[in-house]
Amino acid sequence: MNYPVVKGAAYALVQANSMLLHQGSTQITERLKNEQSEHLKALPEHLRSFEDAVCYPPNQAYIGNITPDQLKEIPHPWYENPIAGASRDGKYGEIMPEDEFFGLMKMVDSFDLVVLEESFQAAVKEKLQSHPILKDIKEITKLDSTAHSADEIQKLVAEHNAQPLYFAGKLVGCVKKAHEFDEALSSEVMLGNLANKASAVLVLKQLLAKTGLNPEQVDYIIECSEEACGDMNQRGGGNFAKAIGEICGCINATGSDTRSFCAGPAHALVEAAALVQSGIYSNVVVLGGGCTAKLGMNSRDHVKKGMPALEDMLGAFAVHIGENDGVNPVIRTDAIGRHKIGSGASPQAVMTAIVTDPLDKIGYKITDIDRYAPELQNPEITEPAGAGNVPMANFKMISALAVKRGDIQKADLMKAVDSFGMPGFAPTQGHIPSGVPFIGHARDMILEGKIERAMIIGKGSLFLGRLTNLFDGVSMIMEKNSGVVATDTGFDQEQLRKMIAEAMREFAKSFRE
């Protein structure tokens, strides 16, 4: 079987303190209830500096400067054990500060909704003009004009429902609504969508730069975040994918958006694998930008417990799926796990459908997978909020299944967890932690011969959309390439004719003898 391969992955983070305060849904809800709430007063004291966000170990793991195994060795709490001298530039991408990101949002804005203050815009333009990866985006010229005065921006925010953008304590810009009364084009929605688009542009540019993939080689882009872009007549009409590809110069690509809450990326990866294996496309990029609504989602508990507001990062990822090159890890398209409509809702049924059914199909035991990558939310963010350690719970469930199947003894449950598990290191950005943060690391570990195979698992809470009570989940296995690229298995008629002729000659010969 000529499996498709994972040719590269990129990851980006954007520190977004202003958006946390003003566009995080927890803060918006709080502001609506009580503008003078204790939480809103205390929260600004808990915001991190950019340097602290860069040196935060899980963020360094996300952009590839340390491995999850190295992160495991760093003592808790991680926010009290920063990595000295850590760089914003990562093996797989970068961590960007919010001022540059506002500039990037303006660059990707095709409808003049992002307005920046004159001096701020000038400063940011200079920074982006020296950004090694973004300076060649032709839309950088958007930063040459249409800046507003501080007063004009203040007016837009106060009187025209524009979303404020702050930096270093000053109002430096805003995002306008795209329509007077269409709720699907409100300033809040447009800001969220533009932030998503901009962070995805950043990570796609990183993928192109760090892996040598040319933008013109990209045939198809699948975007898999959880946002919707459209208008009141088609709220989720979409195509973030094409919009992102346009900015990045992917002139030969089209694309589409795939949605399944947090399981979106896993679905998108399977779709990409199918497109490549079938020969329809040669190079497909799966990507997703960050979510402003989720910023500071659990900040109430972080503030109460005297912690920094750790949910200050927008996350983005991009993965390149290509044709089998005999080198890169393959995607075992013959062992895709899926939670079916009829699978059932119990945790056991869910994990069986997603994890063990595909293993059974190809005759693997649970212990044959070297690493499992389920939802990889940073537990330092989730535990104080009472949501537990989600990656750990998933590893325990997989291990418990192994016990039930007799692959391991009950006494070895935690030993197995230790062996195939890893600490969570992704920000709580929904679709972002869902299996995909490990793809870059898995690829490296497989290429270095450290592991043979890893399973990427995505799970989604469909019931949040109030349309079904169903759960969802998809898994795929990345495996070491056998090194053999199957040649064209197309039928060679001439060859076959020769073979039949030869066989008949032999047959006739045997008659004569």
Partner 1 sequence: MLKGKKVAILGDRDGIPGPAIEECVKAAGAEVVFSTTECFV
Partner 2 sequence: MDLENQARIKDLCDKYGNEDLIVVLGGAEPEASGLAAETVATGDPTFAGPLSGVSLGLKAYHIFELKDEIPADVYEEQVGMMEMVLDVDEIVNEVKTYRK
Which chain residues interact with partner 1 by CB under 8 A? 344-347, 375, 377, 382, 385-388, 390, 393, 428, 433, 461, 463-464, 469, 471
CB 303, min distance to partner 1, A: 17
Measure the CA–CA gap between 233 and 481, rounded to whole angstroms. 47
Binder among 129, 234, 278, 346 for partner 2 (CB under 8 A): 346
Binder among 211, 217, 348, 367 for partner 2 (CB under 8 A): 348
> Which of partner 1, partner 2, none sits in contact with 305, Cβ below 5 to 8 A by type?
none
> Which of partner 2, partner 1, none sits in contact with 404, Cβ below 5 to 8 A by type?
partner 2
Q: Are β-strands 453-460 and 472-479 bridged in parallel, bridged antiparallel, or unpaired? A: antiparallel
Nearer to partner 2, 187 or 356 (CB): 356
The DSSP letter of residue 397 is: H
> Which of partner 1, partner 2, none sits in contact with 228, Cβ below 5 to 8 A by type?
none
The one segment of 143-151, 238-246, 318-326, 398-406 that binds partner 2 by CB under 8 A? 398-406
Measure the CA–CA gap between 109 and 178, rounded to whole angstroms. 11
Binder among 397, 408, 416, 439 for partner 2 (CB under 8 A): 397
Strand-pairing partners, residue 434, are 375
31 interacts with partner 2 by CB under 8 A: no
CB 374, min distance to partner 1, A: 11
> Which of partner 2, partner 1, none sits in contact with 375, Cβ below 5 to 8 A by type?
partner 1
Place of tokens 């795939």: 258
CB 469, min distance to partner 1, A: 6
Nearer to partner 2, 54 or 355 (CB): 355
Residue 385 CB contacts under 8 Å (≥ 6 apart), including other chains = 298, 300, 301, 302
Measure the CA–CA gap between 277 and 55, rounded to whole angstroms. 40
Binder among 321, 400, 442, 455 for partner 2 (CB under 8 A): 400
Binder among 279, 342, 386, 490 for partner 2 (CB under 8 A): 386
40 interacts with partner 2 by CB under 8 A: no
Measure the CA–CA gap between 479 and 167, rounded to whole angstroms. 45
Nearer to partner 1, 356 or 394 (CB): 394
Nearer to partner 1, 245 or 433 (CB): 433
CB 465, min distance to partner 1, A: 11
The kind and range of the H/E element at 105 are: helix 98-108
Binder among 132, 326, 388, 465 for partner 2 (CB under 8 A): 388
The kind and range of the H/E element at 331 are: strand 330-331
Binder among 21, 162, 291, 351 for partner 2 (CB under 8 A): 351
Q: What is the DSSP string of 118-180?
A: HHHHHHHHHHHHT-TTTTT-GGGGGGGS--B-HHHHHHHHHHS-PEEEEETTEEEEEE--SSS
Nearer to partner 2, 365 or 396 (CB): 396
CB 461, min distance to partner 1, A: 4
293 interacts with partner 2 by CB under 8 A: no
373 interacts with partner 2 by CB under 8 A: no
Measure the CA–CA gap between 391 and 382, rounded to whole angstroms. 11
Residue type, 303: V
412 interacts with partner 2 by CB under 8 A: no
Q: Show the 3-state SS of 75-87.
A: CCCHHHCCCCCCC
Per-residue burial over 347-364, b if 16 or more Cβ lie within 10 Å, else e, is: eeebbbbbbbbbbeeeeb
Task: Report how many residues bind partner 2 under the rule CB under 8 A.
Answer: 18
Nearer to partner 2, 65 or 394 (CB): 394
Q: Is 89 helix (H, G, I), strand (E, B) or coil?
A: strand
Nearer to partner 2, 30 or 226 (CB): 30
CB 340, min distance to partner 1, A: 14
The DSSP letter of residue 48 is: P
Q: Show the 3-state SS of 460-492.
A: ECHHHHCCCCCCEEEEEEEECCCCCCCCCCCCC
CB 294, min distance to partner 1, A: 10
Q: Are β-strands 472-479 and 313-322 bridged in parallel, bridged antiparallel, or unpaired? A: unpaired
Nearer to partner 1, 196 or 377 (CB): 377
Specify whether the CB–CB gap between 83 and 124 falls below 8 A: no
Nearer to partner 2, 326 or 388 (CB): 388
Of 35, 81, 39, which is closest to residue 61 (Cα–Cα)?
81
Place of tokens 């920000």: 427
Binder among 387, 462, 470, 485 for partner 2 (CB under 8 A): 387
CB 369, min distance to partner 2, A: 18
Task: Point out which residues bind partner 2 (CB under 8 A).
Answer: 346-349, 351, 386-388, 393, 396-397, 399-401, 403-404, 410, 413
